[in-house]
Amino acid sequence: MRTLPRPHGGRLINRVLSDAAKKRVKDELPEMIKIEISRDLAVDMENIAYGIFSPLEGPLDSTDFESVLYNMRLANDIPWTIPIILDVSSEVIRDKKLKVGDVVALIYQGKPIARLFIDDIYSYDKKEYAKNVFKTTDVKHPGVSKVMQYADRLIGGKIELIDGVNNPFEKYTLRPLETRVLFKEKGWRTVVGFQTRNAPHMGHEYVQKTALTFTDGLFINPVIGKKKPGDFKDEVILKAYEELINHYYLKDKAVLAILRTEMRYAGPREAIFHAIVRKNFGCTHFIVGRDHAGVGNYYGPYEAQEIFSEFPDLGITPIFFKEFYYCKKCLGYVSSQICPHSGDDIIRPSGTIIRKMLVKGELPPKEMMRPEVARVILSFDKPFVE
């Protein structure tokens, strides 16, 4: 009998301090060395602490960093494709006299987020990072641009979470311990995860419902966090999905919850990373579409699917979809794998066309997006990131 998968690496990491321990650590804060971190880093410290990034227990040390960069695995051979790192400048290291063995407080906007037990302080090559993770050193790539702005040194070690970052979407937040309990309560033995950074169009609904025909439940898990201009705003995505689920999905067949992390736009590597994260939430399957986590023309349309052949030990089953669209002759949504038609018979759910129409206040064709969903989006004055 199939059961939910074990967390990546074999156990669900928990690096959250108990209330009593938090009080003790907060009492010690005045004497601790403090390092300011960004919001993105602070949120990812939470992701580590709650097991979303299992088996990581903190930002990578140099051994794991090099292994992830060149082998797409941690030093212990567990698949891992995106470096989760803490960058600190040489000046900060010098001024604060940081060294291996120190215990420091990670601070975001004056708030203590975590304490870090420093195991490693090391240099790295930003161009090597970019070339291996993003397959380009072009600074027009948003991921590369961010890496080039990182500080010049990295710190590795284990963290303990003191407090979280303000979360305006708490009602949509479920952590792996909670999703695993929820899926079991629903009697789901197979769960398909769906990653998105967009409001749902008809193509998304097609792939989700197709995957639901051979799994027990659907876990819709939008990425909430920093995105590029032109992307849908977080609250728009969530409200649009609520509308779709409430009207077009069987009750108790779909769960909507957020993943708070930034998009890296790392294409194939990020597809593996996204699959690992959904495995930690309890998913047995993961949907990978065309150009997953891509941007511009940096990756081939199906590179994010092809990379899965390099990870037979991933522990989650990918479900691949090629191109999908509405076919006037087939009278419904189909994929290029099953439909023989082309040309004027095909209506593709183009994100570009949908955005242009919504910006003008127009409803996209019903073959592209459900009118109810479009109306929810149009109820927002500014539904897109500027």
Confidence of residue 1 (pLDDT cuts 50, 70, 90): low
**Rounded distance between C-alpha atoms, residue 282 and residue 191, angstroms:** 7
Instruction: Catalogue the E-assigned strands of the chain.
Output: 33-36, 87-88, 103-108, 111-123, 153-161, 191-196, 217-224, 254-256, 259-260, 285-288, 317-320, 324-327, 332-335, 346-347
Confidence of residue 225 (pLDDT cuts 50, 70, 90): confident
Determine the average pLDDT of the residues in 14-41.
Answer: 96
- Range of 145's domain? 19-161
**Rounded distance between C-alpha atoms, residue 215 and residue 209, angstroms:** 10
Position 122 in a domain: yes
Helix, strand, coil percentages in the chain from 3-state DSSP, rounded to 5: 35, 20, 45
Q: Which of 47, 132, 198, 221 is catalytic?
A: 198
Position 336 in a domain: yes
Q: How many domains does the chain have?
A: 2
Per-residue model confidence as pLDDT tens digits over 264-315 = 999 999 999 999 999 999 999 999 999 999 999 999 999 999 999 999 999 9
The domain that holds 273 is classified in CATH as 3.40.50.620
Q: What is the side-by-side strand order in the sheet with 111-123? A: 33-36, 103-108, 111-123, 153-161, 87-88
Same domain, residue pair 233 and 360 = yes
Confidence of residue 229 (pLDDT cuts 50, 70, 90): confident
Same domain, residue pair 157 and 244 = no
Can 280 be counted among the known catalytic residues? Answer: no
Same domain, residue pair 74 and 114 = yes
Same domain, residue pair 187 and 98 = no
Same domain, residue pair 125 and 24 = yes
Q: Among residues 143, 161, 179, which one ends one of the domains?
A: 161
Q: Among residues 114, 130, 161, which one ends one of the domains?
A: 161
Q: Which pair of structure tokens corresponds to residue 238?
A: 């969530």
Position 386 in a domain: no
The domain that holds 80 is classified in CATH as 3.10.400.10
Same domain, residue pair 186 and 222 = yes
Report the candidate in 107, 234, 251 with the shortest Cα–Cα distance to residue 170.
Answer: 234
What's CA 12's distance to the chain center, in Å? Answer: 17
**Rounded distance between C-alpha atoms, residue 61 and residue 118, angstroms:** 9
Same domain, residue pair 303 and 229 = yes
**Rounded distance between C-alpha atoms, residue 147 and residue 75, angstroms:** 22
Sequence-separated (6 or more) residues with CB below 8 Å from residue 28 = none
Q: Which of 15, 153, 175, 197 is catalytic?
A: 197
Secondary structure of 199-225 in HEC code, one letter for each residue: CCCHHHHHHHHHHHCCCCEEEEEEEEC
Determine the average pLDDT of the residues in 167-179.
Answer: 97
Task: Report the residue count for the chain.
Answer: 386
pLDDT above 70 for 111: yes
Can 197 be counted among the known catalytic residues? Answer: yes
**Rounded distance between C-alpha atoms, residue 256 and residue 242, angstroms:** 8
Burial of 180 (0-12, 13-18, 19+ CB in 10 A): buried
Determine the average pLDDT of the residues in 369-375.
Answer: 98
Position 320 in a domain: yes
Cβ pair 128, 68 in contact under 8 A: no
**Rounded distance between C-alpha atoms, residue 77 and residue 8, angstroms:** 12
Cis peptide before 168 (omega within 30 of 0): no
Per-residue model confidence as pLDDT tens digits over 347-360 = 999 988 999 999 99
pLDDT above 70 for 236: yes
Q: Among residues 142, 161, 180, which one ends one of the domains?
A: 161
Per-residue model confidence as pLDDT tens digits over 35-70 = 999 999 999 999 999 999 999 999 999 999 999 999
Confidence of residue 377 (pLDDT cuts 50, 70, 90): very high
Per-residue model confidence as pLDDT tens digits over 179-189 = 999 999 999 99
Q: Which helix (H) or strand (E) holds 95?
A: helix 90-95
Q: Taking the CA atoms of the chain, what radius of gyration do you get in angstroms?
A: 21
Check residue 166 and give its pLDDT: 94
Check residue 386 and give its pLDDT: 87
Helix 234-248 with 371-378: angle, nearest 10 deg? 150
Q: Which pair of structure tokens corresponds to residue 111?
A: 């708030």
pLDDT above 80 for 383: yes
Check residue 304 and give its pLDDT: 98
pLDDT above 70 for 31: yes
Percentage of the chain exceeding pLDDT 70: 100
Determine the average pLDDT of the residues in 98-126.
Answer: 98
Sequence-separated (6 or more) residues with CB below 8 Å from residue 302 = 290, 320, 322
Task: Choose between 323 and 96: higher pLDDT.
Answer: 96
Position 166 in a domain: no
Same domain, residue pair 371 and 315 = yes
Same domain, residue pair 270 and 196 = yes
Sequence-separated (6 or more) residues with CB below 8 Å from residue 7 = 13, 51, 54, 55, 176, 279, 280
Same domain, residue pair 224 and 366 = yes
Position 350 in a domain: yes
Same domain, residue pair 219 and 243 = yes
Position 4 in a domain: no
Position 145 in a domain: yes
Same domain, residue pair 228 and 144 = no
Q: What are phi and psi of 48, to 5 degrees?
A: -65, -50
